[in-house]
Amino acid sequence: MPRATRPVPRSARVEAARPASSTARDRRGDPVAGRANRTSRAGRGGSAWPLALALLLVGGALAGCGDAEGDARPASLARQKLTWGRCPEPDEGEEGAGTPAPGPPWECATLRAPLDHAKPRGETIDIALIRAPATDRARRIGSLIYNFGGPGGSGVNGLPAFADDYRNLRTRYDLVSFDPRGVGRSSGVRCLSDGDLDAYHAADATPDDARETRALDARKRGYAAGCQERSGKVLAHVGTVNAARDLDLMRRVLGDAELRYFGVSYGTELGGVYAHLYPKNVGRAVFDAVVDPGQDPVRGALGQARGFQRALENYLRACPADADDCLTGEEIAALLRRLDRDALPGAGDRSLTQSLASDGIAQALYTKDFWEYLTQGLRDAADGDGKVLLALGDLMNGRGEQGHYSTLQSALTAITCADYRQRYTAADVRARLPEFRRASPVFGEYLAWGLLQCRHWPTAGTWRTPDVRAPGAAPILVVGTTGDPATPYEGARRMARALGPGVGVEVTYRGEGHGAYGGGSRCVRRTVDAYLLAGTVPRSGTTCS
């Protein structure tokens, strides 16, 4: 399952989740959500999320706060000129494959950054950027840089998909996003072939005996070996600290004195690490769908189990008690137990397994816009048809309609394992299973076994938990949603406190879904826009419905 996840455009995601042969109603809208906590995709090494989908530090960089002037960065990189031009078509391995390249006003460029910021004069890596210039050039504030989470989500693909949500902000900002290192066009991490990934994501992620546990461990080992073989050059350098240093280089090359930033889901963790490293460089910033910076992978996975269980219960309460289409919680759990024994026919020669169904259910809980598809998918599966849940599971795993996988899940795993030192064993998981089952009868075991994702990883991690203390930084709006399944609401308060007095400004959205700004609350949007456009800081503790 996910680590922190990222939002996904409602239009693209809903349409992708509706197989041509399904009877789901046609529906279009705007963006929805993605990744969850840091245990990435429960049970298999990586999760994209929406459902499935770490971070950082090199050379003791988090030992204390710093600023851009303290970096030993070569002047040639800090003064590089970006060449903005037409964006390329997404290839078969990118998110958005099969869709046209975004045209005007979108422009793309490439930023050169040190592969290892601890060796700033060494080899470089290319970071793919995208932007839409501000429409009111006379009142332009500067650049507003977005990260939509994952870790592993493509900003080059994501920002145009979310553009309607941020139309008002574009009046005075150049909207900018990027593929973080290890993602998409920025040396995206690859681990297995498309066919092997089909088998990997479909395989049993919740072993019931010693034989199944050995098989799961072997899959983890093989996945890690594949990542080393195909992407070993970048694996040690894709953590969040290097990504935060990329952000500051980006700020300087874009010509901004301060970083103005909008982070969603994992993007809040990246933003928190940036604020710790560069507190004096923080400008107006917003964290939405907030990751709890104090949780290690176990606490993060438990929090996510509770969050998804809470979201499932909210969905079930909203389903009319007399509706023939609605399954009960007990029926959903029974369906997953049946799928553990026998898969259902899916699409073509593919089947719906327990793992793929768990992915699909979790994917649909990221936003209320997907609830109708969840209802249909569960009912169809109960009647022996797995197509809709399979499509939702593919969405979670970054599988396109032609069977090609993006780097979403592989990057999520690589970034998570580059960030976290913890390497859990099967014995560790078994000892925790009762606690996870209590947290969620539906998702608990799945998320618990996901703790094995870094078991055989070829490079070491950096931290046990990230440091986001940012004394002296400008106010940062920290927006939490009470019904968020992937980054539970409690994390927002903990992030606000960790940032420090006068820095973290807490805003609560009483609603459902992963991410508040695009969730339909006019109050949240007014509050955020007033800060980003006019510098109006709300009272900490502001609540929106």
Annotated catalytic residues are 265, 484, 514
Phi-psi region of 289 (alpha: psi -120 to 50; beta: other; left: phi over 0): left
Cβ-count burial of 70 within 10 angstroms (0-12 exposed, 13-18 middle, 19+ buried)? exposed
Give the distance between the most distant pair of CA atoms in the chain: 68
Q: Which residue matches tokens 């993060």?
A: 300
Which of 124, 137, 35, 109 has its CA nearest to residue 365?
A: 35
Question: How is residue 278 written in tokens?
Answer: 């560069």
Which string of DSSP letters, residue by residue, matches 251-303?
A: HHHHT-SSEEEEEETHHHHHHHHHHHH-GGGEEEEEEES---TT--HHHHHHH
Q: Enumerate the β-bridge partners of residue 477.
A: 286, 505
Question: How is residue 377 written in tokens?
Answer: 């998918």
Cβ-count burial of 150 within 10 angstroms (0-12 exposed, 13-18 middle, 19+ buried)? buried
Q: Give the integer Cα–Cα distance in Å for 148 and 515.
A: 10
Q: Which residue matches tokens 């969620």?
A: 440
Half-sphere exposure of 142 (CA within 13 A, CB side): 19
489-496: long-range contacts, CB 8 A cutoff, minimum separation 24? 490/292, 490/303, 491/290, 491/291, 491/292, 491/293, 491/295, 491/303, 492/287, 492/290, 494/292, 494/293, 494/294, 495/268, 495/272, 495/287, 495/290, 495/291, 495/292, 495/293, 495/468, 496/540
